[in-house]
Amino acid sequence: MTNSLRNVALVAHVDHGKTTLVDTLLRSTGAFAAHQAVVDRVMDSDDQERERGITILAKAARITWKETLINLVDTPGHADFGGEVERALALVDGIVLLVDAAEGPLPQTRYVLSKALGLGLPVILVINKVDRGDARPEEVLEEVEQLFLDLASSDDQLGFPVISAVAREGRAMMGIGMPAADADLSCLLDTILNTVPAPSGDPTKPLTALVTNLDASDYLGRLAIGRVHSGVMKKGETVALWGKDTNGNPLKRRIAQLSVYDGVGRTEVDSISAGDLFILAGISEVEVGDTISATDVTEPLPRLEVDEPVIRMAFGVNTSPYAGREGKFVTSRHLRDRLQKEILGNVSIKIADTDSPDVTSVAGRGELQLAVLIENMRREGYELQVGRPEVITKEINGKRNEPLESGTCDVPDEHVGTITQALAPRKGRVTDLRPGDPGRTIVSFEAPSRGLIGFRSMLMSSTRGTALLHQTHAGWTPWVGELPHRTGGAMIADRIGSTTGYALDNLQLRGELFVSPGVEVYEGMIIGEAARGEEMVVNAVRAKEKTNIRTHSHDDGPKLAAPVDHTLETAIEWIGDDELVEVTPKSIRIRKRGLTMEDRRRTAKKG
The CB-side HSE value for 150 (13 A sphere, CA atoms) comes to 12
Type of residue at 97: L
| Torsion angle, alpha carbons of 72, 78, 84, 90, to 10 | 60
* Range with lowest mean pLDDT among 69-83, 113-127, 149-163, 513-527: 69-83
In 3D, which of 98, 79, 125, 89 has the Cα closest to residue 21?
98
pLDDT band per the 50, 70, 90 thresholds, residue 436:
confident
pLDDT band per the 50, 70, 90 thresholds, residue 80:
very low
pLDDT for residue 556 is more than 60: no
pTM of the model: 0.67
* Range with lowest mean pLDDT among 275-279, 294-298, 532-536: 532-536
| Gap between the Cα atoms of 134 and 69, Å rounded | 36
Give the best-scoring range by mean pLDDT among 22-31, 215-224, 293-302.
293-302
Residue 471 CB-density burial (10 A; 0-12 exposed, 13-18 middle, 19+ buried): buried
H helices of 380-468, in order, are 416-423, 455-462
Question: What pLDDT does residue 396 have?
Answer: 92
| Gap between the Cα atoms of 208 and 201, Å rounded | 10
Question: What pLDDT does residue 147 have?
Answer: 86
| Gap between the Cα atoms of 374 and 349, Å rounded | 12
Task: For residue 451, give the DSSP letter.
Answer: G
Tens digit of each residue's pLDDT (9 = 90 or more) over 474-499:
889 999 988 877 778 899 999 999 99
> Which residues make beta-bridge pairs with 94?
8
Question: What pLDDT does residue 41 have?
Answer: 41
Tens digit of each residue's pLDDT (9 = 90 or more) over 541-550:
998 876 655 5
What is the average pLDDT across 144-169? 87
| Gap between the Cα atoms of 526 and 579, Å rounded | 9
Type of residue at 65: W
Task: Give the 3-state secondary structure of residue 423.
Answer: helix
> Which residues make beta-bridge pairs with 64?
69
Question: What pLDDT does residue 38 have?
Answer: 43
Distances in whole angstroms, Cα of residue 186 to Cα of each of 63, 67, 128, 189, 399: 13, 14, 15, 5, 54
| Torsion angle, alpha carbons of 105, 24, 214, 9, to 10 | -40
| Gap between the Cα atoms of 504 and 512, Å rounded | 10
Compute the mean pLDDT over every residue in the chain, rounded to the nearest whole number.
Answer: 85
**CB–CB of 451/428 below 8 Å?**
yes
The CA radius of gyration of the chain, in Å to the nearest whole number, is: 27
Phi/psi of residue 186, each to 5°? -65, -35
Domains of the chain: 5-195 (3.40.50.300), 208-293 (2.40.30.10), 394-478 (3.30.70.240)
Distances in whole angstroms, Cα of residue 229 to Cα of each of 7, 9, 115: 12, 17, 20
Question: What pLDDT does residue 39 have?
Answer: 43
pLDDT band per the 50, 70, 90 thresholds, residue 15:
low
Question: What pLDDT does residue 360 have?
Answer: 95
* Range with lowest mean pLDDT among 74-88, 167-181, 351-365, 455-469: 74-88
Tens digit of each residue's pLDDT (9 = 90 or more) over 36-64:
444 444 444 445 444 444 433 446 788 89
pLDDT band per the 50, 70, 90 thresholds, residue 16:
low
In 3D, which of 411, 403, 457 has the Cα closest to residue 575?
457
Distances in whole angstroms, Cα of residue 224 to Cα of each of 16, 211, 425: 30, 6, 47
Phi/psi of residue 80, each to 5°? -65, -20
From the CB of residue 284, how many other CB atoms can be counted at a distance below 10 Å? 8
**Would you mind telling me the total number of residues written for the chain in this entry?**
607
Question: What pLDDT does residue 557 have?
Answer: 60
Tens digit of each residue's pLDDT (9 = 90 or more) over 201-249:
899 999 999 998 877 777 887 888 899 999 999 999 999 999 887 777 8
Residue 252 CB-density burial (10 A; 0-12 exposed, 13-18 middle, 19+ buried): exposed
For 163-182, letters b (16+ CB in 10 Å) and e give bbbbbeebbbbeeeeebeee
pLDDT band per the 50, 70, 90 thresholds, residue 307:
low
| Gap between the Cα atoms of 74 and 8, Å rounded | 9
- Strands 384-386 and 579-583, by their bridges, are antiparallel
Task: Please name the helix (run of DSSP H) or strand (run of DSSP E) that holds residue 83, with its range, or none.
Answer: helix 82-89
**CB–CB of 275/227 below 8 Å?**
yes
Percent of the chain with pLDDT over 70: 89
- Strands 390-391 and 394-396, by their bridges, are unpaired
In 3D, which of 415, 317, 296, 366 has the Cα closest to residue 111?
366
pLDDT band per the 50, 70, 90 thresholds, residue 383:
very high
